[in-house]
Amino acid sequence: MPPSPQPLHLRLLAWFDTHTGAATCDDHDHRVDWLRTLPFILLHLVCFAVLWTGVSLVAAMVCLALFGLRMFAITAVYHRLLAHRSYDAPRWLAFLGALVANSSGQRGPLWWAAHHRIHHRLSDEDGDLHSPQRAGLLGSHVLWFMTPGAFRTRLEAVPDLARRRELMLLDRFDTLAPAALAGGCFALGWALETWAPGLGTNGMQMLVWGFCISTVLCAHATFTVNSLAHTWGSRAYATSDSSRNNWFIALITLGEGWHNNHHRYPAATAQGFAWWQYDPTLWILRLFAALGLVSGLKPVPERILREGGYRNKDQS
Binding site for Zn ion (CB under 5 A): 266
Q: How many CA atoms lie within 13 A of 153 on its CB side?
A: 27
275: buried, middle or exposed (CB in 10 Å: 19+, 13-18, 0-12)? exposed
State in angstroms the smallest separation of the CB of 132 from Zn ion.
10
State in angstroms the smallest separation of the CB of 138 from Zn ion.
17
Q: Which residue type, as a one-letter code, is found at position 263? A: H
State in angstroms the smallest separation of the CB of 80 from Zn ion.
8
Q: Report phi then psi at 258, rounded to 5.
A: -85, 60
Return the number of the residue (213 or 225) whose C-beta is nearest Zn ion: 225
How far is CA 266 from its chain centroid?
A: 16
Return the number of the residue (33 or 124) whose C-beta is nearest Zn ion: 124
Q: Which residue type, as a one-letter code, is found at position 199? A: L
Return the number of the residue (3 or 266) whose C-beta is nearest Zn ion: 266
Return the number of the residue (68 or 266) whose C-beta is nearest Zn ion: 266
Return the number of the residue (70 or 117) whose C-beta is nearest Zn ion: 117
State in angstroms the smallest separation of the CB of 117 from Zn ion.
8
State in angstroms the smallest separation of the CB of 271 from Zn ion.
8
State in angstroms the smallest separation of the CB of 86 from Zn ion.
9
Q: How many CB atoms lie within 10 A of CB 99?
A: 18
State in angstroms the smallest separation of the CB of 238 from Zn ion.
15
Return the number of the residue (52 or 240) whose C-beta is nearest Zn ion: 240
State in angstroms the smallest separation of the CB of 30 from Zn ion.
19
Return the number of the residue (200 or 266) whose C-beta is nearest Zn ion: 266
Return the number of the residue (25 or 113) whose C-beta is nearest Zn ion: 113
